[in-house]
Structure 1
Amino acid sequence: MTEKPNIIVHKQGGVCTVTIHNPEKRNALSPACLFDITETFHQLAEEDTVRVVILRGAGKDAFSAGADIVAMPTKNGNNPVPQNERKGDITSASLAIQKFPYPVIGMLYGYTLGAGCVLAMACDIRIASDKVKMGIPTSRMGLVSTYEGFKRFLTVLGYSTAMEIFLTGRQYNSRECLAMGLANHLVDDDELESYTLNLAEEITRCAPLSLRGSKYVLNRITENPIPSTGELTEFARLASQARQSDDHEEAKMAFKEKRKPVFKGK
């Protein structure tokens, strides 16, 4: 994989950790950084060995404090970012995470705000530190979020909760985040990394076809609660493929032999 200045990629077994690397600015998201995130997930999707991705920020202050304000265009149209660095946007990065074929876990701590919060919500599972602060301050910045940002919050959290988040611009503490559904699990700050890694490793022990199929079908149902005939046919094909797979036979044999299965994704 090509190295990128804004992203650090570390692979260990089937677990890949993608780190947003801009700690001096609390991992603020510039267009170049968002482009690197998008490209990283596209490239990882082509690899056979990755079974789960952990998305995190560098340092201890923030997952991401939001968009890089310095990189925003001014009212008169002037853009401080060179033309060749304006490739990335939050929608493309979020969709790359959502459409990544295997689970993505957001490891959240410190400031997780604005575009950083949108990026976190694109993850399939979110593990939050007890020191996390999440929110969307667009209403306090005179801005309106993107369509995909609204859509993801509405889908995951429901209408009333999404409305409160976008209309108030509040920063929510860790317990509020858990209660509202912004986080799946809340853990002590010093246990965040180990808890997240343990969850990721647990997922890697599951059958790859099941992981891919489950995420695909759940995403499609979320996008379209009333599936077309073609989609229903595809869902049935995925279920049939899994039933007839070598991994399913391995799981049955392992159950009989009282051992852990060894899956190969076939």
Structure 2
Amino acid sequence: MGPTLGDQLAGGKLVLDHPDKGVARITIRNERRRGALDQEMLDALATVLAELDARCLVVRGSGDVFSAGYDIGDLDGSDLAAAAERLVAHPFHAAMEALENYPYPVVAQLNGHAIGGGLELAVTCDVRVAASGIKLAMPPGRLGLIYSHTGLRKFLDACGPAATAELFFTARNISAERGRELGLINHVVAAQELEEFTRTLARDIASCSPLSLRGNKRIIRTLRAERWRLPADVEQELVALRESCFRSEDFREGIRAFAEKRAPQWSGH
């Protein structure tokens, strides 16, 4: 049985709820550590993502920070290399992989600053909505950290080589508005409007055909993974996936509902 409304995860540092039909929401509640992601939180995130089946997932922070990335404050200085590798190489990667593989759209609701791994978490989501006034930054250059190639690829996909180079080579904070110019952010809204804007966006996503959401997300992710040059068998598989929707009940229902000017009732098949 999957998680239920109001689940407290990782000792309450993550909270799962379902604010609207078809929408699940995970809130990072680790304000004492500026939304930093420790191993307990990362493990819980990977686990809960495997159990969810909502048509839209929203990930948000609490307080004035979305997430400051992985929690490096408690790393043991006596064995720093091993401790850092244990946290960054496995739990963080596993959580981001689980988020990237979530079959339905994921929206990042950036209520506050998104720094380092927190910004990667946001970029791993499909759509990003940010409150005006927040800051975005990639500080590896200030930490002596060489970032993972899997993480860097996400930034290259989102905002291209020049913007990725600037982010990582300067380690500067940039505004949400600048992030939108670079392609990191989809929408920037006033802080007091962020909650309702994101809920409306998530409801719109969740109202769409689950078959269409799953299929389109899979194709987008496959094209990115294959760097736009698809092997013949993969391309054939994706063509077959798209063509399958025309034989689906959801497609028939969508056409009927459009013609009848009513909200569709999706079956997912």
| Matching residue within 27, 35, 39 for 1:19 | 27
Aligned letter for 1:32?
Answer: E
Whether 1:61 and 2:64 are equivalent positions in the alignment is yes
Does the 8 A contact of 2:14 with 2:41 survive in 1? Answer: yes
| Matching residue within 207, 211, 214 for 2:213 | 211
- SS of 1:70's equivalent in the other structure is coil
Shift of 1:51: 0.3
Q: Which residue of 1 aligns with 2:55?
A: 51
Q: 1:194 to 1:32 in 2, by over 3 A?
A: same
Shift of 1:258: 2.2
Aligned mates of 1:186, 1:86 — CA distance in 2 = 29
What stretches of structure 1 of length at least 5 have no aligned partner? none
- SS of 1:150's equivalent in the other structure is helix
Shift of 1:249: 0.9
Paired residues, number = 259
Query: Pairwise CA RMSD of aligned residues?
Result: 2.1
Shift of 1:257: 1.7
Q: Which residue of 2 aligns with 1:35?
A: 43
Aligned letter for 1:7?
Answer: L
Shift of 1:247: 1.0
Aligned mates of 2:152, 2:82 — CA distance in 1 = 25
Shift of 1:221: 0.3
- SS of 2:73's equivalent in the other structure is helix
| Matching residue within 6, 16, 35 for 1:9 | 16
Q: 1:32 to 1:79 in 2, by over 3 A?
A: farther
Shift of 1:157: 0.9
Aligned mates of 2:128, 2:164 — CA distance in 1 = 17
Whether 1:157 and 2:163 are equivalent positions in the alignment is no
Aligned letter for 1:264?
Answer: S
Q: Which residue of 2 aligns with 1:196?
A: 198
Aligned mates of 1:79, 1:163 — CA distance in 2 = 28
Aligned mates of 1:171, 1:86 — CA distance in 2 = 22
Does the 8 A contact of 1:71 with 1:80 survive in 2? Answer: no
Shift of 1:250: 1.0
1:229-240 to 2 correspondences below 5 Å: 229-240=232-243
Q: Which residue of 2 aligns with 1:120?
A: 122
Does the 8 A contact of 2:61 with 2:112 survive in 1? Answer: no
Identical pairs, percent? 31
Aligned mates of 2:98, 2:83 — CA distance in 1 = 26
Aligned mates of 1:144, 1:87 — CA distance in 2 = 12
Deviations along 1:208-265, one digit per CA (max 9) or x if unpaired, are 1100000000000001011122211221221122110111111121222222222111
Does the 8 A contact of 1:210 with 1:242 survive in 2? Answer: yes
Q: 1:180 to 1:217 in 2, by over 3 A?
A: same
Aligned letter for 2:201?
Answer: L
Aligned letter for 2:61?
Answer: G
Does the 8 A contact of 1:64 with 1:116 survive in 2? Answer: yes
Shift of 1:185: 0.4
Aligned mates of 2:116, 2:202 — CA distance in 1 = 26
Shift of 1:188: 0.3
Does the 8 A contact of 1:53 with 1:105 survive in 2? Answer: yes
Deviations along 1:171-230, one digit per CA (max 9) or x if unpaired, are 111211111111100000001010001000001111111000000000000010111222
Shift of 1:73: 4.2
Structure 1 length-normalised TM: 0.91
Choose between structure 1 and 2: higher helix proportion. 2
Shift of 1:80: 7.3
